[in-house]
Amino acid sequence: MGSRDKEFEAALAEADSPATEAPLQARTAAKRRIPDAVLSTLSIIGLLVIWTAITSSGLIRPGYFPSPMELVREFDLLVRDGYKESSLHGHIGISLFRTAVGFTMGVLAGIPLGLLTGYSRVSGAMVSPIMAFIRPIPPIALIPMVVLYFGLGELGKVVLIFWTSFIYVHVNAHAGAAHVPIAYLRAARSLGLSKAQVFFRIILPAAIPQIFTGLKVAMALSWAVVVAAELTAAQSGLGYMISDAALIFRIPAVFIGIVLIGIIGLCLYGIINFLETRYVHWRGR
């Protein structure tokens, strides 16, 4: 065992030596020569090339899978003429409006209730069983009930989005308030802080990173739910455009709607991620 220990120590010394570190640093630098943005751009270009090759090969019947150039022409047509007597930015705007109103209401209700149930044992015991029951229910399953009670107008869609964002914001706010390190609470007690001071100076700052996680999840799901609601119960919006275009076999318009949903969803996620990076700079440190 003694000889093996010496061999192991010698190997460690060799790995830590400057002569060994130099090649490792050189290999690491070589791997980092290509920026991530370049790699991402190359992957997108490669995808477009493959897409164009498939549509040009005739493997798929024309009309079922449009080429990138067909999508460019369809997008130009939608920008100029709109869709069903409404402009393209009008369809985008109404979907964003529904999402923003429902999401904002869900956040304003979900964060305070989540912090309260996470901080207060009594409130948590009263509310947690109810939330545990309704959390697994998919929001899309509520669309028929929302249409029944609130009709096909804007109120039903806003209620559905509110419900979606409320659930996931509440869950994460509750988790953030309930899992504050015990060392923080003991330090607050030793300093003689009041309950209000403990909440605003300890609980709330410690829960903010988890709250932002809930905001990102809730935004993504709210944007998906509004599109799903528009597929079945709307006369405007991106979801309506996709559903109606599919019925009349205007497939390029369907693809344009799907692409716009993805791009807008990515932008919404980026906005919340930017706010998190700016205002929750201590996360992970």
Residue with tokens 């390029």: 252
* Three-class DSSP category at 249: coil
Summarised one tens digit per residue, pLDDT across range 163-218 is 999 999 999 999 998 888 888 888 888 888 888 888 888 888 888 999 999 999 99
The mean per-residue pLDDT over the stretch 223-252 comes to 86
| HSE of 228, CA atoms in CB hemisphere, 13 A | 17
* Nearest Cα residue to 74 out of 250, 260, 241: 250
Residue 283 and residue 209 in contact, taking contact as beta carbons nearer than 8 Å: yes
The 10s digit of each residue's pLDDT in 48-107 is: 888 888 888 777 777 788 888 889 999 999 999 888 888 999 999 999 999 999 999 999
Other Cβ atoms closer than 10 A to 151: 11
Q: Is the dihedral of CA 10, 14, 16, 17 positive or negative?
A: positive
- Cα 231-94-98 angle, rounded to 5 deg: 80
Q: Does the domain spanning 75-279 belong to CATH 1.10.3720.10? A: yes
Domain boundaries, the chain: 2-62, 75-279
Give yes or no for residue 24 having a pLDDT over 70.
no
Binned at pLDDT 50, 70 and 90, residue 28 comes out as low
Six-digit token string for 233: 């119960």
Predicted model pTM: 0.78
